[in-house]
Amino acid sequence: MKRALAISGFDPTGGAGILLDIKVFSRFEVYGYGVITAYTVQTPRDVLEIKPQDASTFRKALQTLLYHLSPNAVKIGMLASSELVNETAMLIKRFSLKNIVLDPILKSKNGYPLITDEGIKEMIYRLFPLVALVMPNADEISTFTGMEVKNIENARIAVREFYKSFKVPVLLKGGHLDGEPVDIFYDGNNLLEFGGKRKRNSPHGTGCLLSAACTAILAKGTKLDDAIAGAKKFTAMIIKSAGNEPLLPL
């Protein structure tokens, strides 16, 4: 059986973070396991407090797992602190991990910061060079590029600027753009757009859902652009089936 490793925060609602990652991996018949980076106090809508995992405990937990269970793909979500970013990067290199999807979670929907400013700098410097795909939303890619990204025209420029700066494939999640949501992929050669329909009262955790699905499909040996396309279809199906519920039906 193929394996996917989640390095993510703990959302007690189960709507995002490591609990959602594992549920998504299971839907793709990929064995899911993981290490918690931070504990949160939250509702399905708002994050109220976070407590980053102790860096030494995190390192021991992840290192022990990797000695015994090598993953076919890795999803990295909330990292919370520069110490956890650095520990993650160090172990990625030590164990030569591949097929890494980074969902660079910087803040919650209600604006609560989910990583320190120093952590953001370390993420760019230490993690970006090690991953197969970075999946920022419009606000996050604005932070990384210094560009204001509000519409599809801005977004097309931003993904090119992101790749030019960091030399890593990027999928811009378009839920925060004006108009209908369009996700944009760019890998230095190909620019692909994945359209969708905007849903009122979108459920909690849709970004985590997409990145976890992409990771699971990569774990099966699928090439990157096909993994993204498959993850988009799966995500659209799950969001549609959620109806008006605040949590995804997984």
pLDDT tens digits, 9-58: 999 999 999 999 999 999 999 999 999 999 999 998 899 999 999 999 99
More reliable by pLDDT, 176 or 147:
147
Query: How many Cβ atoms from other residues are within 10 Å of residue 18's Cβ?
Result: 26
Give the residue among 198, 140, 141 at the shortest CA–CA distance from 164: 141
pLDDT value of residue 198? 67
Asked whether the predicted pLDDT for residue 151 surpasses 90, the reply is no
pLDDT value of residue 176? 67
pLDDT value of residue 199? 63
The single-letter code of the amino acid at 24 is V
Asked whether the predicted pLDDT for residue 189 surpasses 80, the reply is yes
Determine what percent of the chain is predicted with pLDDT higher than 90: 80
pLDDT tens digits, 60-73: 999 999 999 999 99
Asked whether the predicted pLDDT for residue 105 surpasses 70, the reply is yes
pLDDT value of residue 152? 85
Phi and psi, residue 184, nearest 5°: -125, 125
pLDDT value of residue 247? 85
- Tell me whether residue 143 is exposed, middle or buried, using C-beta atoms within 10 angstroms of its C-beta: 0 to 12, 13 to 18, 19 or more: middle
pLDDT value of residue 203? 83
How far is it, in rounded angstroms, from Cα 97 to Cα 71? 8
How far is it, in rounded angstroms, from Cα 74 to Cα 46? 26
